[in-house]
Amino acid sequence: MDGVCLRFVEDVKNSNETLLVIAALLATALAVRNISTTIVASRTTTTPHKYDPSERKCACQPSKLYLDIVVVIDTSLSMTKEGLVQVAADLATLFQSMNISSGTAKGQFLRVALVAFSDKASIVGDLNKYSNYVSFVEGLFTIPYNGGKTLNIEAALQAASEVLEGSRDYAKTAVLLYSSAYSAGGFVDPTAIASQMKESGTKIITVAFRQQPEGVLVKKLGRLSSPHFAFGSMDRNIIARITDAFCQVNCYCKNNWVRFADSWEDPKRFYGECLRFMDIDANWFTARFACPAMVDGAHLASELTQHKHHFIRRYAQSAISTVPSPFEYHIGLRFNHSAGAYFWEGPNRSELPYDPASLNSWNTGYPNTTVGECVSVVRGSNPNAGLQNVNCFTKPMRYQLKKRQPQPQCQLHRPVGGQVQEQNGQPQRPIGGRPQRLEGRPPKGFERECPCDPARLYLDVVAVVDSSISMTKDGLIEVAADLATVFQRMTISRGSYHGQYVRVSLITFSGYVNVIGNFDSFGNYESLVEALFKMPYHGDNGLNIERALQAASDVLRKRRNYAKTVILLYTSAYSEGGFTDPLPIANQIKESGTKIITVAFRQQPEGSLVEKLAHLASPSFSSLVSMDPDIIDKIVYKFCQVNCYCKNNWMQYANDLYQPTFFYGECVRAMDIDASWAIASIACKSMAPGAHLVSELTYQKHYFVYEYASKVLPKPLKYSVGLRFDASHGKYFWENANNTKVPVSLKYCVTFILIDALAQRYVYIKMYGWNPGYPNSAKGDCVSVVENHHWVYGGYQNEDCARKAMRYVCQMPTCDTDNFCASLND
């Protein structure tokens, strides 16, 4: 892989005139920015196959990297003063072709922090200190030489971990560690913190100072590094190798996608392609349409080489939960009758010729186009699973997607619902008013989801635990262990001061109720755990959930005014009717804003107790059972959902306005006054940190906002949204938090309904897009949504930014673990 870099090493003799030496080195480092030298890294290839040029490699353009990097430098006695200057020179050369900046705005730039260490670690500069290359180089050559005799790499990595807590949510993170020695064992063993950082997703690159690639120190530091990221500084291509490592870190797949590599078992080199098995069955033809609908550039997987075929097969074997055994799945190969040959699916409906010399893994009796034109992988007589023709329309099975890297920031998807028929060029509205509810959620990464950092939750929680004879003593201990695990990751405290901590009250019940502790009882996690395992076992036959919920309601009278409230009810049975029916008090509690989470003890999800408790639980907060192996994570997730809310007068974005089952970390508000787009933009931003005119990155968001606006704004509907044409870039952008913006290629959104598969006949449903005659920037750069008979959910049209006044919709982030709110009011 080529890279623009220069091996810049100077052996500088230190003198008393240190500042003069630093100034000279800095001048030299800055001068090299005018020199463009291409260094080709010679790689030691241990991969099981030749790196295939037919598959897309990870792009490596250093000036477009977007990473948060912590450079950790040894300043101990074994490094020497001269060595420290040499490392600084190395790093000045390494970063010369990269775009260094600071801040949290989205963009393709590096943020670099510096940490120095010997016996202790010190943060020389955090991720927001160096706003350009010059300031970073100044920081490099002014790192103080400690000269200590000991080396505490553990403290250095811990400092780096703390720095990375301020990383950007979209940028990958890396630690570049330069060290002249290695110490392990005891209290300062760095392997534990290194493993934690790697498990969290941070890549660690180690450079053994004054070591050849095969040196002993390289291998020792390799215990800390991410796989294949351990180097020696005397490698003549060290700058190119580190640059390549950065590019590898910056080449990744989004969640739920698997990256294609040179090996499934021990990957060393990765391609710029992502794969994903779909956990639903579809025929080949439907799968062919479904893949591109997920993301621009996606298509059914192409297997241009034998290696790619084996890699996907191993992926299929590992995906036990999604691919039945014996497995079969669609790939993107199809016979073209007009050309008389097979072709692979490519991006954007392109085709790639099939080469039998590169892949010839057909099952016995195939290829056979009389069976079908399309091709799948089926485990047949070939134990490794081979290619086999299938009918394109009648053979449903799993299918394999492929997309190129990186994924676009925004795209439009086909909706699932909305019954509108195309007639005479105009769509008909569904009979009966509101269209059918749209199922599903927007794809991850487009709309802000509720953050979930258990340590930063701020809730008032009442744990209500059944202690009757049906619970049993052992059962009570199991519940205690469950709750101790649930609260382990949270900050437990008491009092009423403002802050991100959880207060817990504990109540046990059977035929009577016992308040073990209120919100002032447990000042830390240890005191709560002690109380949990000392919960008294009542052991009687009574079960009065009504009195237990009444006691919880009494405790909640002393709630904090800014914290949301939760009742977590564990019970082994349910009683209803008569004077002790718990349903009325449960409804009162829920109407007051408190969420009730129910857990059926020792029940499977389909148990009858689960269904009964659902009457008491808040919507989407029931169906929890103690026998679920993921019960802890599910309860914590429910807590995070409770702690993700909007302030008064704001509406939380959800998967459905009327019957929500999933909420996002965004709030919207329709303003009942008219303003021009420009004024509306300013007004929204002034309402709260991170607020802006609403963005609609997915069709689900557009529908939600339109239905919400229909309820609160006058008809005919017309309101400003955060879309604007940027003439300097020649494209439209959505407004985003903190004066950032998101580019979008806006198209109309269509749902296809298959009428005749063999004839490939469809009717289609126009859901939303531009109104007729738009886009037309001559009428204005700004965009509004206007009710129009052409679209079911209103269409976009250009408006004058300064003169056209109308209602508008604002958006702000929710109050959540990442965004602390000390008040429910604006």
The angle that helices 631-642 and 473-488 make with each other, rounded to 10 degrees, is: 50
- What's the CA gap between 468 and 574, in Å, rounded? 11
- What's the CA gap between 667 and 812, in Å, rounded? 5
Task: Provide the 3-class DSSP secondary structure of residue 354.
Answer: coil
Region of 108 please: left (phi>0), alpha (psi -120 to 50) or beta.
beta
- Eight-state DSSP code of residue 11: -
Tokens linked to 678: 């420009």
- What's the CA gap between 753 and 771, in Å, rounded? 23
Question: Which domains does the chain possess?
Answer: 62-250 (3.40.50.410), 258-404 (3.10.100.10), 461-643 (3.40.50.410), 651-813 (3.10.100.10)
For 639, residues 6+ apart whose C-beta sits below 8 A from its C-beta are 454, 457, 459, 461, 490, 566
For 628-786, where are the E strands, in sequence order?
Answer: 651-654, 663-676, 692-693, 718-726, 731-735, 741-744, 749-756, 761-768, 782-786
> How confident is residue 389, by pLDDT bands cut at 50, 70 and 90?
very high
Q: What is the mean pLDDT of residues 818-825?
A: 90
For 99, residues 6+ apart whose C-beta sits below 8 A from its C-beta are 63, 64, 65, 108, 109, 110
Q: Which of 397 and 619 is assigned the larger pLDDT?
A: 619
Q: Which of 104 and 55 is assigned the larger pLDDT?
A: 104
Q: What is the mean pLDDT of residues 315-321?
A: 71
Question: How many C-beta atoms lie closer than 10 Å to residue 412's C-beta?
Answer: 22
Q: CA 353, 357, 363, 369 torsion: positive or negative?
A: positive
DSSP-derived pairing of the beta strands 782-786 and 761-768: unpaired
- Taking every pair of Cα atoms in the chain, the longest distance, rounded to a whole number of angstroms, is 91
Q: Which of 202 and 378 is assigned the larger pLDDT?
A: 202
Q: Does the structure show a pLDDT above 90 at 742?
A: no
Q: What is the mean pLDDT of residues 413-429?
A: 34
- What's the CA gap between 288 and 752, in Å, rounded? 13
Question: How many C-beta atoms lie closer than 10 Å to residue 558's C-beta?
Answer: 13
Give me Rg for the CA atoms of the chain: 30
Q: Does the structure show a pLDDT above 50 at 31?
A: no
- What's the CA gap between 622 and 627, in Å, rounded? 14
For 69, residues 6+ apart whose C-beta sits below 8 A from its C-beta are 110, 111, 112, 113, 173, 174, 175, 176, 246
- What's the CA gap between 747 and 764, in Å, rounded? 15
For 226, residues 6+ apart whose C-beta sits below 8 A from its C-beta are 198, 203, 204, 205
The pLDDT value recorded for residue 183 is: 79
The pLDDT value recorded for residue 282 is: 56
Q: What is the mean pLDDT of residues 170-184?
A: 92
The pLDDT value recorded for residue 301 is: 92
The pLDDT value recorded for residue 221 is: 92
- What's the CA gap between 513 and 547, in Å, rounded? 7
In tens, the pLDDT along 604-651 reads 666 678 888 889 999 888 778 888 878 888 999 999 999 999 999 999
Tokens linked to 766: 């126009």
Rounded to the nearest integer, the mean pLDDT of the chain is 82
Q: Are 405 and 258 spatial neighbours (Cβ–Cβ below 8 Å)? A: no
- Eight-state DSSP code of residue 57: B
Q: Which helix (H) or strand (E) holds 476?
A: helix 473-488
- What's the CA gap between 459 and 826, in Å, rounded? 20
Q: Which of 39 and 551 is assigned the larger pLDDT?
A: 551
Convert 598-624 to b/e letters by CB count within 10 Å (16 or more is b): bbbbebeeeeebbebbeebbbeebbbb
The pLDDT value recorded for residue 468 is: 94
In tens, the pLDDT along 47-77 reads 344 455 567 888 889 999 999 999 999 999 9
Distance of CA 55 to the CA centre of its chain: 26
Q: Does the structure show a pLDDT above 60 at 419?
A: no
Q: CA 494, 497, 501, 506 torsion: positive or negative?
A: positive
Q: Are 687 and 826 spatial neighbours (Cβ–Cβ below 8 Å)? A: yes
The pLDDT value recorded for residue 690 is: 93
The upper half-sphere exposure of residue 644, i.e. CA atoms within 13 Å in the direction of its Cβ, equals 24
For 498-641, where are the E strands, in sequence order?
Answer: 503-509, 513-517, 564-571, 595-600, 624-625
Q: Which of 261 and 575 is assigned the larger pLDDT?
A: 261
The pLDDT value recorded for residue 360 is: 83
Tokens linked to 487: 């609260």
Q: Which of 380 and 462 is assigned the larger pLDDT?
A: 462
| Nearest to 641, CA basis, from 612, 668, 616, 663 | 663
Q: Are 677 and 692 spatial neighbours (Cβ–Cβ below 8 Å)? A: no
Q: Does the structure show a pLDDT above 80 at 121?
A: yes
Bridge partner list, 811: 668, 692
Bridge partner list, 570: 465, 599
Distance of CA 617 to the CA centre of its chain: 29
The pLDDT value recorded for residue 322 is: 47
DSSP one-letter string for 215-279: -HHHHHHTTTSPTT-EEETT-TTHHHHHHHHHHHHT----TT-EEEES-SSS--SEEEEEEEEEE
> Which of 281-285, 325-329, 484-488, 667-671 has maximum average pLDDT?
667-671
Q: What is the mean pLDDT of residues 688-713?
A: 93
The pLDDT value recorded for residue 824 is: 83
The pLDDT value recorded for residue 283 is: 62
Q: Does the structure show a pLDDT above 80 at 23?
A: no
Q: Does the structure show a pLDDT above 70 at 174?
A: yes
Convert 20-39 to b/e letters by CB count within 10 Å (16 or more is b): ebbeebbeebeebeeeeeeb
- What's the CA gap between 372 and 66, in Å, rounded? 46
Q: What is the mean pLDDT of residues 293-297?
A: 67
Tell me phi and psi for residue 525, to 5 degrees. -65, -40
> How confident is residue 799, by pLDDT bands cut at 50, 70 and 90?
very high
DSSP-derived pairing of the beta strands 651-654 and 663-676: antiparallel
Q: What is the mean pLDDT of residues 312-340?
A: 78
The pLDDT value recorded for residue 485 is: 84
Tell me phi and psi for residue 61, to 5 degrees. -120, 100
The pLDDT value recorded for residue 749 is: 47
In tens, the pLDDT along 707-730 reads 999 999 999 999 999 999 999 988
The pLDDT value recorded for residue 424 is: 37
Q: What is the mean pLDDT of residues 92-120?
A: 95
Tokens linked to 163: 């720095």
Lowest mean pLDDT among 2-16, 133-147, 395-409, 565-579: 2-16
Percent composition of the chain: helix, strand, coil (DSSP 3-state, to 5) = 25, 25, 50
Lowest mean pLDDT among 269-278, 563-572, 686-695: 269-278
> How confident is residue 602, by pLDDT bands cut at 50, 70 and 90?
confident
Q: Are 500 and 458 spatial neighbours (Cβ–Cβ below 8 Å)? A: yes
The pLDDT value recorded for residue 313 is: 87
Bridge partner list, 459: 564
The pLDDT value recorded for residue 442 is: 54
Kindly give the residue spans of alpha helices, DSSP state H, lying in 117-172. Answer: 133-140, 153-163
Q: What is the mean pLDDT of residues 394-402?
A: 57
Angle at the Cα of 7 from the Cα atoms of 149 and 239, rounded to 5 degrees: 75
Q: Are 417 and 439 spatial neighbours (Cβ–Cβ below 8 Å)? A: yes
Tokens linked to 577: 């009717």
Lowest mean pLDDT among 416-420, 486-490, 524-528: 416-420
